[in-house]
Structures are given as structure tokens and as C-alpha cells.
Amino acid sequence: MRYSRLLVAIFALLMPQLQLSAQIGGRGVYDFVNAPVTARVAALGGLAAPIDDGDINLALFNPALINASMSNQLNLSYVDYYADINFGSVQYAHDFNKIGSFAAGLQYYNYGSFDYADEGGNRDGQFSAADYVFVLGWGRQLDSSFSIGANAKFIGSAYESYNSYGLAVDVAGTYRTRSGWLMSLTARNIGREMKSFLPGEASAMPFSMQFGVSKRLDHVPFRVMVIYDQLQRWDLTYESSYNNSNTDPISGDKNTKAGFEKFGDQLMRHMLVGGEFYIGKNLSLRASYNYRRRQEMKLTDRAGMVGFSWGLGIRISKFNISYARAAYHIIGSPNYLTITTNLNSFSRK
């Protein structure tokens, strides 16, 4: 009963955020905090993966997964993004027994250098642009079935002489059934912009709620995962003025969806499906599919692999190495590389 009351209290605190922040990408500030920076998260679709196997890579998106088995884990990640944009992150976890387990991380998004130029194209020096996030996460196992966690985040942006910073928190709860199912509810980016780029123009945070389930199958070395994204908003349809795929070429009328077709399209825009296939103890293959990403980012006459993500994880000696690619557009796919180790493995026995 005490856990039920705790969940009710958490949702009561979230209700104002649900009403004020029912928005998706492109309508707020700091949307980069939703970009995955570790290879495993990217391969599994870039959301709060409900997988509890002691991997620190999943902790920044789902703090309820932070536990004692992550203690002294260290990871380094690098992302080769589009247009010479680079991401990087470092994470470390430590367990403090009675008060719970903690994980800290620093993420850095480097957009490179830009030229100062006047109306005539005359160049006069350069400036840079970057975003960064410092995360401190806490997780605690309440019993064999239920765990909770929270992240506190300091978010900053520096574009030329313009600066902004904000504070946000994530809260999450995870429940494990006796049959091996794992269910996780996560509320991300609850907070506000403390200092805006321009006075009096503070923007909303990219708040989202996600519910996910996963299960490692009993007789097959495979884990299946399904995530329902953006619980706080039903209609995620995005109509671009540059997309003419839904326009009749003769009459110019919009071919709008209705009835079950419209319901199915809107439902699928919330869904992410993925899985991991395990080959022995040292190799795993990962893949996922994001319907909304595919609908929003594909070209009218060519979709390619847009919406799909894939990758692998391999254990070599004391290191876990993960690699992933995520197809956001047909022009190419970012590359993600993560190296994880446990510092305890280097201590002498």
C-alpha cells in the first residue's frame, strides 16, 4: 500500500507539468537532452529502455534502473553526428548502501565553429556553439519487485555571446513481475529555463512521459521491448509545408486520414518496438523501429531505413564495447561508440 501511495503522490506532483508541458520537439528549449549519447540507447530507439541488467548506459534515461550492480562502472561515449557535429559523454556510478546508488554524467554537444560575416560576405573571425548537461542520478531498490529513481540535471547552452541555462529532473519507477516482465514509467525533463537567451523569452522544457515493458524470453536468447512515448499528448501528427505526399496532384486537396486509419496512425506515432538477440555471453545484436520518426523524416518518394536503429555490443576482456547507427534521414546515419568498464575489475584480488 505504501508504494501505491507513493505513486499517487508522484502523479499528483506531475499533473501541473502535464498541463503546462504537453509539447513535443521543436516547441520548447533544450531539445538536445532527448538525443541519445550512448550506443546501446541509440540502438534501442533513443528512449527510456526498460531493461534492468546493471548497465550504466541506460541510467541517464531511466534513473529507476540505477542500482548497486552498477557501482564503479565507468563509460565513455562518442557520437559522430551530421555536419561535423559531435557529441560526447562520460558516466560513473557508485553505491552507498543504505541511501541508494548514484550515477553522475556529463554530456557535451559540440556544433563546431562558425564564421562571422557581413551582408557582403566578408568574414571577420569565428564563433562557436555548444550545449552541455550535467546529470546526477539516484536509484533505490525498495523490494524485489519495485525500484524508484530520479535525475537532477543542470542544462546549459552557449551560442556565440548568447547563453542560457536551466534545471530539470527526471523521475521513474520500475516494477518486475514474477514471470520476468519488467515495466517502467518515466517522466523526463520536469523543470524550467532559469536564464533565457533573451530577457523575458523563457521557453518550455521538452517534457515527456514514457511507459515501457520488456521481457527476456524463456527459451530463446532474445529480449523484446515496447515503449509508449509521449503519454501526456495524444495527437503527435506533424504536417510539414514541404511534404506533398498527402496532397492530390490534380485538385490540390489534402488527403486526410479518418476513422480507424487515423486512430492507427496516431497510436503508432507513440510506439517504439525493439529487441536484443544474445549470442553467447559476450555478443548481443540490437535493433528498433520508431514509426513516428519514419513518418516525420522520410522523403515523399524515398524512405530508405529511416526510423530504424541497430547496433551490437561485444565484451572483450574487461571492456564492453557498443556500436550503433540510427537512421534519421536518408542522407546518412550517425555513428555511436561507447566503451564501458567496471573499475573493480582492475583491482588486485
Report the share of the chain in percent with pLDDT over 90.
67
Backbone angles phi, psi at 203, to 5 degrees: -115, 165
As a whole number, mean pLDDT of residues 176-183 equals: 94
DSSP string, 84-145: G-EEEEEEEEEE-GGG-EEEEEEEEEEEEEEEEE-TT--EEEEEEEEEEEEEEEEEEE-SSS
Nearest to 6 by CA among 205, 148, 212: 148
Query: What are the residue boundaries of the structural domains of the chain, listed by start?
Result: 2-346
> d(Cα 148, Cα 62) in Å, to the nearest integer?
9
CATH architecture for the domain at 2-346: Beta Barrel (2.40)
Condensed to tens digits (0 to 9), the pLDDT of residues 247-295 reads 555 555 566 777 788 899 999 999 999 999 999 999 999 999 999 999 8
Residues 55, 43 contacting (CB under 8 angstroms): no
> d(Cα 2, Cα 8) in Å, to the nearest integer?
10
> d(Cα 26, Cα 29) in Å, to the nearest integer?
8
Listed range (197-201, 265-269, 319-323) with the worst mean pLDDT: 197-201
pLDDT of 25 over the 80 cut: no
Question: How would residue 11 be classed by pLDDT, with cut points 50, 70 and 90?
Answer: very low
pLDDT of 318 over the 80 cut: yes
